[in-house]
A and B are shown apart, each in its own frame.
Chain A
């Protein structure tokens, strides 16, 4: 028997209205979306395409104008559903007067965690996001990146089954971005379903198995990222340590079989990979410490 999709929307529409109930903008139009258990799903689109509105409907923060939303097979407003979700909004909206430790303790309390468990969990999460040294400073004095790390930690406080990340790498430096992407990989391997939006297509390409592309509230394309990006009828060989002469011979054979000239190039690493290589040349790479979450 097939598992039902973890997130399912049918003919989902959202129209924002003014005080007099006149329609102002149709943010989402007739959206049909399925996110399966355990996958990392990317929701892409330019500004104002309806990505965040869709996420907020999935979280029960906005009510659909028409259509259906089911998360874990239930309405998103259901507290049982909310107990299984972790959410990182585009802007963290943290309480400026709280310290990261207090912030996490507060959100742990909202999940009804016992104090002892919450204290342990808070410590683990602070260590994971690298904020142990700043655990008792007010969040209001943090840089955007540090606040983002607190936001990420609060999204994981309940060890969620579904993690919804709105622009997760926004405000983070390249190292932070890499750490977040590594974390998403690890969570995905552990069976957590991740739904994320991002403007940074490279980030999405790095971590997502499937994507949906929205524009002006309409779903324009969706599917496995490999299928969407694959150029039909093109095959690429990558070979290491081949001499110029041998390369010319191989090329000649392929051209003979293909019947037309073959393009030959030298692969380059991405700028991100180069940057990480440079800044971490003298120091061991520091990734999110996810050990506390993982079973040996």
Chain B
């Protein structure tokens, strides 16, 4: 009697290799779908138009630096915005369209775990985004190099990547705690504000507060570099000011950078720009990694005004930190991590909602994320007292808190300023945006998929 061969006897326990094959199969299908339905081709064409045409459409200030900023900030930024939206919408469609069209029935009756479905589709979006983002960055970099050669920008600007060291100051949280304790001890806490509201206001103040250096005053900041100085390199001192131009021009002073018993003093008398940078050769300090920077305001108290600056942000020591290309890659990685997070979010939404509902919800939440930060920063104590404002403020705060890891980095700004994208920020972005938060979304998405009926 004829018997059917049981080549693939399914009573064998499902092993990891089989699981990987299933995930890979789902990933390949999603990639095929995006290619065959021409979705990726259309997106690629749109991004190509952005990368090639946008720099010539947007007017720069005519300087090499301004043109470079447009290329990096606007072209990459705009392309990234397009990728954010397309990723979110594609993710919303991946499950929802398959469930709505009942195509998922054939896959759902196969021995595939909900988590494998989720992971396979998410990986497809990650790979497609990696390809598209690499194409955008590659296109912009090629343009940048070409422009530098064709227009002689190379003599005006240098594509660098420098490690930034900030002053050693108490952390924002520590400063907030100390200030709050001090206000409480003096019985000077604002009336009618909750403790949380006061702490929030103090944190904002600690981050954005301007400190003054009046004529005749001297301020010191301590720094520790990530590594000791190397022979032959230079250390750059950078100070930014926010004082008005009319009063700033009369400022004079001395900057002194010291390490142990070695010090270099630099007189400063040109404050016409709101940023001063100067280099000191490493030979002046040897292989030092701890420095003290001081600024003494020697301007005439009658004519000169105080200098305004935010110590946490405006004073920095810069040293060589890898290549511009590597920095560009780090920026791309951070942006890719944000796309990974959006993909995870959209996918999870699509497990529970139909395609239009998932897309609408995702878009609303994206807009809330974008405007939430401004709402939170612009909310005053009086605004909070108004009951009609409270739901909006609560939602904005909630969304801002949940998305802070995704939105706190501005890698393009760092690249444009020639600052090395912080390794800690990169690690945090990858950890939160590619691992932890997507894992939470995956748990939620797979739970919904298991509970949901996949046939009508």
The interface of chain A, by Cβ under 8 A from chain B, is 56, 59-63, 77, 79-80, 82-85, 87, 89, 91-95, 97-98, 102, 105-114, 117, 121, 151, 154, 158-159, 161, 186-187, 189-192, 290, 293-295
The residue from B3, B32, B110, B113 contacting A97, defined by CB atoms under 8 A apart: B32
Interface residue from A61, A107, A159 paired with B454 (Cβ < 8 Å): A61
Question: For chain B residues 1-58, which have a beta carbon within 8 Å of chain A?
Answer: 1-8, 10-11, 13-15, 17-19, 21-22, 24-26, 28-29, 32-33, 36-37
Judge whether B386 is part of the interface by a CB distance below 8 angstroms.
no
From B102, B107, B111, residue with most partner A Cβ within 10 Å: B111
Chain B residues whose CB sits within 8 angstroms of the CB of A98 once the complex forms: 29, 32, 36
State the CA gap A79–B14 with chains docked (Å).
9
Q: A294 touching B108 by the CB < 8 A rule?
A: no
Give the contacting residue for B19; candidates A62, A84, A112; CB below 8 A.
A112
Is the C-beta of B106 less than 8 angstroms from some C-beta in chain A? Answer: yes
Taking a contact as CB atoms under 8 Å apart, the answer to whether B106 and A89 are in contact is yes
Secondary structure class of chain B's binding surface, majority of residues: loop
Tell me which residues across on chain B come within 8 A of A82, comparing CB atoms: 109-112
Max count, chain B CB within 10 A of own CB: residue among A97, A109, A114, A117: A109
A110 in complex: contacting residue of B105, B111, B450, CB < 8 Å: B111
Q: Does B455 contact A (CB under 8 A)?
A: yes
Known: A106-B25, A112-B18, A112-B22. A159 touches B111 (CB 8 A): no
Q: Which residues of B contact A77 (CB under 8 A)?
A: 450
B246 at the binding interface (Cβ < 8 Å):
no
User: At the interface, yes or no: B453 with Cβ under 8 Å from chain A?
Assistant: yes
Q: Does the CB pair A84–B10 fall under 8 Å?
A: yes
CB-CB < 8 A to A105: which residues of B?
25
Cα of A191 to Cα of B102 in the assembled complex, Å: 31
CA distance A99 to B11 in the complex (A): 29
Let me know if B103 is at the binding interface, CB within 8 A: yes
**Apart from A110-B26, A187-B4, what are 13 other A-B pairs with CB-CB below 8 Å?**
A62-B453, A79-B111, A83-B110, A89-B106, A93-B101, A93-B106, A94-B103, A105-B25, A107-B106, A108-B25, A110-B25, A110-B107, A190-B4
Set of chain A residues within 8 Å of B3, measured between Cβ atoms: 190-191, 294-295
Give Cα A87–Cα B102 distance, bound, in whole angstroms.
14
Task: Name the A residues within 8 Å of B14 (CB-CB).
Answer: 79-80, 83, 112
Report which of A89, A158, A295 forms a contact with B8, defined as CB distance below 8 A.
Answer: A158
Measured CA separation A290–B5 after assembly (Å): 11
From B18, B25, B105, contact of A93 by CB (8 A)? B105
Task: Please measure, in the bound complex, the distance between the C-alpha atom of A190 and the C-alpha atom of B3, giving whole angstroms.
Answer: 4
CB atoms of B110 and A89 under 8 A apart: no
Given A83-B10, A91-B102, A98-B32, are A109 and B22 also a contact pair (CB < 8 Å)? Answer: yes
Q: How far is the CB of A48 from chain B (nearest CB, A)?
A: 13
Closest Cβ of chain A: how far from B128's Cβ, in Å?
16
Using A111-B8, A113-B8 as known contacts, say yes or no to A59 and B21 having CB atoms under 8 A apart: no
Which residue from A80, A121, A191 sits with its C-beta under 8 Å from B7? A121
The chain A residue with its CB closest to the CB of B107 is: A110
Does the CB pair B109–A59 fall under 8 Å? yes
Distance to closest chain A CB from B109 (angstroms): 5
Interface residues of B in 65-113 (CB under 8 A from A): 101-103, 105-113
Shortest distance between the CB of B8 and any CB in chain A (Å)? 5
A107 to B108, alpha carbons, bound, how many Å?
A: 11
Residues of B within 8 A of A84 (CB): 10-11
Name the residue of chain B whose CB is nearest to the CB of A190: B4
Contact among A87, A95, A111, A295 for B103, CB-based, below 8 A: A95
Q: How many residues on the B side are at the interface (Cβ–Cβ under 8 A)?
A: 43
In the assembled complex, the Cα of A186 lies from the Cα of B5 at a distance in Å of: 13
Q: Is the interface of A mostly helix, strand, loop or mixed?
A: loop
A87 partner residues in chain B, CB cutoff 8 A:
105-106, 109
Instruction: Note all chain B residues with C-beta closer than 8 A to A151.
Output: 106
Are A107 and B110 in contact, with the CB atoms below 8 A? yes
Q: Is the CB of B24 within 8 A of A109?
A: yes
Q: State the Cβ distance, A234 to closest chain B Cβ, in Å.
A: 34
B4 A80 Cβ-Cβ under 8 A: no
Cross-chain contact A159 with B33 (CB below 8 angstroms) = no
Residue of B nearest to A138 (CB): B36
Cβ-closest chain A residue relative to B29: A106
Q: What are 26 sample pairs from A and B whose C-beta atoms fall under 8 A apart?
A: A61-B109, A61-B453, A63-B453, A79-B14, A80-B14, A83-B11, A84-B10, A87-B109, A89-B106, A91-B102, A97-B33, A102-B32, A107-B106, A108-B25, A109-B26, A109-B28, A110-B22, A111-B18, A111-B110, A112-B15, A112-B21, A113-B8, A114-B21, A190-B4, A293-B4, A295-B3
Chain B residues whose CB sits within 8 angstroms of the CB of A108 once the complex forms: 25
Contacts of A80 in B (CB 8 A): 10-11, 13-14, 111
Residues of A contacting B455 in the complex (Cβ-Cβ under 8 angstroms):
56, 61-62
Q: A159 vs B10: C-alpha distance in the bound complex, in angstroms?
A: 9
Query: B19: shortest Cβ distance to chain A, in Å?
Result: 7
B10 contacts A117, C-beta separation under 8 Å:
no
Residue in contact with B21 in the complex, picked from A60, A97, A109, A290, CB distance below 8 Å: A109
Q: In the bound complex, what is the Cα–Cα distance between A89 and B7 (angstroms)?
A: 24
0/1 string, B207-242, CB within 8 A of A gives 1? 000000000000000000000000000000000000
Residue ID in chain B nearest A102 by CB atoms: B32
Residues in A with CB closer than 8 Å to B28 are: 106, 109
Which residue of chain B has the shortest Cβ distance to A291 in the bound complex?
B2
**For residue B5, which residues in chain A have a CB less than 8 angstroms away from its CB?**
159, 293-295
Residue pair A111, B105 in contact (C-beta under 8 Å):
no
Determine how close the nearest CB of chain B comes to the CB of A269; give it in whole angstroms.
Answer: 27
Q: Give the distance in Å from the alpha carbon of A285 to the alpha carbon of B17 in the complex.
A: 43
User: Is A192 a contact of B111 with CB atoms below 8 Å?
Assistant: no
A59 and B18 CA atoms in complex are apart in Å by 21
Shortest distance from the beta carbon of B58 to any chain A beta carbon, whole Å: 38
Q: Give CA–CA (A187, B5) in the complex, Å.
A: 11
Bound: A105/B11 CA distance, A: 21
B252 to chain A, nearest CB (A): 71
User: How many Å lie between the Cα of A114 and that of B17 in the bound state?
Assistant: 9
State the Cβ distance, A138 to closest chain B Cβ, in Å. Answer: 8
CA–CA, A105 to B24, complex, Å?
12
Q: Report the minimum CB–CB distance from B165 to chain A (whole Å).
A: 51
Q: How far is the CA of A235 from the CA of B219 in the complex (A)?
A: 116
